[in-house]
Amino acid sequence: KKSFYFRGIAMILLAWQRNLFPQVTYVTLMFIIGIGAIFTALFLGHGNLFVTLFGARILLIHFPLIFIIGTFFDRQDVIKMGKTVVWISIPMALLIALQFYSPQSALVNRGVGGNMAGSGFSGAMGYFRPSGTFSFTNGTTLFFSLAASYIFYFWLSPRQINKIILLGATVGLLIAIPFSISRGLTFSVVIIIAFMLFTVSRKPKFLGQIIVAGLGVMIAMLFIGKADFFTTALDVMATRFDNAARSEGGLEGTLGDRYLGGMIEAVTSSVDMPFFGQGIGMGTNAGSALLSGGRTFLISEGEWGRLIGEMGALMGLSVIAIRLLVSWRLFVESLRLLKMGEILPWMLLSFALLVFPQGQWAQPTTLGFSTLIVGLLIASFNKEGSIMNNTN
């Protein structure tokens, strides 16, 4: 374990020495904010060293890791990762289907540390949202969102993968949507499909691949669409949507809470927060457990509210600005490459924009997927002169 950490530190130092970070300015600013947040948390905030370090690791370790991945991976590595994700999505879909129909005390639903209460989360009609191989249900949503971006990419470029595996993964994704009972996954897949259709509108040569993909989906639905095990999941999913629509005020409320996550409110209420915040790490579950003895949101459930509540208006808004600026530059570069016929960055961007600008980094699974997808996206550029390689 020590050797693993030493190798990681050595890789970071090597990247700094060679000035290989594609956007060293962003990393430097985030590092300065992270160090500043440590001091303000210890001397002006909650004062707990362990909570502080747990919160600061996001800015000091995970954020630089994004650019390390983007530097040391190349386009072929990104494609290999995609093939692996597509392969894994098939057994993952079978697993969540099994979890869906199994009691929470079953082995496949066992919680962290063997917790008999299970890892599922309340869904609808007595069924629970399955967690897959993760500790919480958001892992299922994030994994299949990542898988969807790759699956639709490979349908646009089918020569790079075995078509039987691609069809199996597509069926797995179709199964995962209702069995996950996740509105977030449904929303993500719709957005990713919209990105794919935009690709076709800009590059009509991909229309043939889309027609083939549509026929494959139709054939798959003929086999599973009328099966009782699948229709039950569809009924549960529909009930979940109806219940959420009633409690959140329809589609407008659902999308506002799901994606915007109180971002505008977080910014407007920043004037009411302490200037240096209540201390970095306080808004995480681990920080909550250490400070209060229980798992609750001590600051805010929304990501932007957490950042401002932990670090105050100056540092919190600075972190938000960096994430938005990086997102914008990723969008501009991906669109530029799409015009040149490179569709991989554009399809990865479809998922990156869902988790990077406002993803809940306080939650380790979301933090991990956000770090991975943006690192892979930068690596997929693989061109000198890329906007992300311009440090000016």
Taking only the tens of pLDDT, the chain with its 392 residues reads 445 555 555 555 555 544 444 466 788 889 999 999 999 999 998 889 999 999 999 999 999 999 889 888 889 999 999 999 999 999 999 999 999 888 877 878 877 766 666 676 776 677 788 888 898 888 999 999 999 999 999 988 888 899 889 989 998 998 999 998 888 899 899 999 999 989 888 777 777 777 777 777 777 677 676 677 788 888 888 888 777 766 665 555 555 555 555 566 666 665 567 788 888 988 888 888 888 876 777 787 788 888 988 998 889 989 998 999 899 989 999 999 998 889 999 999 999 999 999 888 989 999 999 999 999 999 998 764 444 444 43
Token couple for 123: 């869904």
Helix (H, G, I), strand (E, B) or coil at 155: helix
Q: What is the pLDDT of residue 229?
A: 75
Q: What pLDDT does residue 49 have? A: 92
pTM above 0.75, yes or no: yes
Q: What is the pLDDT of residue 392?
A: 38
Measured CA distances, 217 to 175, 211, 264, 370 (Å): 11, 10, 39, 29
**Closest among 166, 162, 148, 146 to 213, alpha carbons compared:** 166
Distance CA 135, CA 109 (A): 10
Cβ–Cβ under 8 Å, residues 287 and 280 = no
The C-alpha atoms of residue 290 and residue 28 are separated, in whole angstroms, by 29
Radius of gyration of the chain, Cα coordinates, nearest whole angstrom:
21
Q: 169, 176, 154, 149: which is closest to 217 by C-alpha?
A: 169
The pLDDT of residue 110 is: 76
| SS3 state at 128 | strand
Q: Give the pLDDT confidence score for residue 354 in this predicted structure.
A: 92
Residue 110 DSSP SS3: coil
CB 263 within 8 A of CB 302: yes
User: How many whole angstroms separate alpha carbon 23 and alpha carbon 326?
Assistant: 9
Task: Please give the pLDDT value at position 361.
Answer: 93
For residue 387, what pLDDT is reported? 46
